[in-house]
Chain A
Amino acid sequence: QQPVQSPQAVILREGEDAVINCSSSKALYSVHWYRQKHGEAPVFLMILLKGGEQKGHEKISASFNEKKQQSSLYLTASQLSYSGTYFCGTSSGGGADGLTFGKGTHLIIQP
């Protein structure tokens, strides 16, 4: 079943912070986060594995609460380059059987 992302869209000024949420109705083994710019392929940001792990990537970090089957992506002091659509992809089995993606969150950063 497809994870639910919220919000669907958000508009920020450069330097503001954003939080994107990903929620699943199934128990999760991992959550993957990607950013896609218009007309391009998704770019891998990070993977979070079962265990409540939190990861960071420059000013972008994420958390994973396996009990709540939720993950959140945190964008701090947003830059213009952060604009795009963010997708979470989830896996319940931890095997090689692919990810189920949410519908995406459109992020627009204005100067």
Chain B
Amino acid sequence: SQTIHQWPATLVQPVGSPLSLECTVEGTSNPNLYWYRQAAGRGLQLLFYSVGIGQISSEVPQNLSASRPQDRQFILSSKKLLLSDSGFYLCAWGTGQPQHFGDGTRLSIL
């Protein structure tokens, strides 16, 4: 069966520091991968999606970037974090459309 892993589960970072969140999927090949962000008490906002290695589509312009170095690996990065980057970051995968989320990373910016 397919599983999705995200790490770390929680992260506290100072403003201006870099960020790297990783997501991996097991049990499937060539999945579509997604990064969403959920601000406290809010809905989910699509940040990036990828249909294959090296293919990244951005939905919202911001200081975040994404990369897909391997088929089942999706990375969310930032060179300099802002206070507004705080939130719950969720990776999702699907063979067609997104369906299943990872456990998420709760990011707090100080």
Query: Which secondary structure dominates chain B's binding surface?
Result: strand
Contact B43 A104 (CB under 8 A): yes
The count of chain B contact residues (Cβ–Cβ below 8 Å) is: 22
Binding site for A on B (CB under 8 A): 32, 34, 42-46, 49, 51, 57, 59, 90, 94, 96-104
Binding site for B on A (CB under 8 A): 2, 30, 32, 34, 40-44, 47, 87, 89, 91, 94-104
**Known contacts being A2-B43, A100-B46, A101-B43, is A47 close to B101, with CB within 8 Å?**
no
Contact A99 B98 (CB under 8 A): yes
Query: Which secondary structure dominates chain A's binding surface?
Result: loop
Contact A102 B90 (CB under 8 A): no
Contact B102 A98 (CB under 8 A): no
Contact B104 A101 (CB under 8 A): no
